[in-house]
Structure 1
Amino acid sequence: MEPDEMATYFAPLLKLELVQLQKDSGETAESRKPVELDQQSVGRLSRMDALQNLAMARAVDLRRHARARAITAALARAEAGEFGYCEECGEPIPFRRLVLDPAFTRCVGCQR
């Protein structure tokens, strides 16, 4: 499959994933709000759990945003006619590699 055909194939999948990431981020916004620590009503372990849950929720959201940036960049490459080419050597990235992750920017050889 040629890179322009791959762009046509993968763009809808990337757009769908981007929409899902945005939806997930919105649905979990409440879990990323600062924790109110009331010393009287909550025990020390409960406060620690709340802080740990907040840190995990924020870390997940950071990964979600990083993935969204990678997808946005892949869609921009598709629009510019650069999708499916290695950013390092300029050779086409194999279809099987892009099936694993359409946002890959390098071929296997250059990724090493």
Structure 2
Amino acid sequence: MPHAINLKHFTSLIENELNELKTLNTISHEGAETVELDQSKIGRLSRMDALQQQAMQVEQNRRRDLKIKQLQSALVRIENDDYGCCLDCGEKINIKRLEISLATQYCTQCADKH
């Protein structure tokens, strides 16, 4: 199925976003490290706050890793000339939808089903 989209443009956008996410992963690894539970060094409330911050950082890292996998999958679809086609119905995905979410796999009608 021929594409009316500029694959080089989308490849560049995806690669840029991947690079940003990978850089953030490197930087944010520190925030997900184990919190020291020694109350003599920090108070109970500070420790609770540190545990909450750690949990939020772990979740951010998980979401970032998922986004990286989705973008890598989009690059594979570009290589296979499937990018921009809905995985369910095979119809073309609106270019504006692709620009908003580079890794989208479904057209709006099929996305509602998922």
Q: Flag whether TM exceeds 0.5 (same fold).
A: yes
2:65 partner letter: H
1:44 pairs with 2:65: no
Unaligned runs of 5+ in 2: none
1:99 is matched with which residue? 99
The Cα shift of 1:5 comes to 3.4
Deviations 1:45-98 (A, max 9, x none): 011011001001111111111110110000000011110000000011111111
2:26 is matched with which residue? 26
TM-score by length of 1: 0.93
2:53 is matched with which residue? 53
Greater length-normalized contact order (CA 8 Å, ≥ 6 residues apart): 1
Contact kept in structure 1, 2:86 and 2:105, CA below 8 Å: yes
The DSSP-based 3-state class of the residue aligned with 2:6 is helix
The Cα shift of 1:7 comes to 2.4
1:24 partner letter: L
TM-score by length of 2: 0.92
1:90 pairs with 2:90: yes
| Structure 1 pair 98–69 and aligned structure 2 pair: CA distance change class (3 A) | same
Distance 2:102 2:6 in 1: 9
Distance 1:7 1:17 in 2: 15
Distance 2:50 2:57 in 1: 10
The DSSP-based 3-state class of the residue aligned with 2:8 is helix
